[in-house]
Amino acid sequence: MAATLKLILVAAGLLGLGLLGMAVKIWGKKDGEFAGTCASNSPFLNKEGESCAFCGATPDQKCQKEVSEA
């Protein structure tokens, strides 16, 4: 029982550290943007060289879509 509780606490702690790391990354970036937001522009995911389904950018271009502020 105690070992299960320790395992759950360690897992929750690691998840918390991961979320904290992402929050710090967003906070530290200008305008809170992640670099390379078009996942389909990744050469590992897009082997055919197709344009992004979200914004239409080709793999050698940056994301063209403006992020709307809510």
pTM: 0.47
Same domain membership, residue 38 and residue 22: no
Residue 44 and residue 59 in one domain: yes
Q: Return the ∠ at Cα 42 (arms to 36 and 45), rounded to 5°.
A: 140
- pLDDT digit string (tens) for 2-59? 999 999 999 999 999 999 998 887 787 766 566 556 766 777 777 777 777 777 777 7
Q: Which domain holds residue 43?
A: 34-64
Q: Round to whole Å and give the CA distance between 57 and 70.
A: 24
Residue 10, SS3 per DSSP: helix
3-state secondary structure string across 14-64: HHHHHHHHHHHHHHHCHHHCCCCCCHHHCCCCCCCCCCCCCCCCCCCCCCC
Regarding whether 39 and 17 lie in a shared domain, the answer is: no
Structure tokens at 54: 């979200």
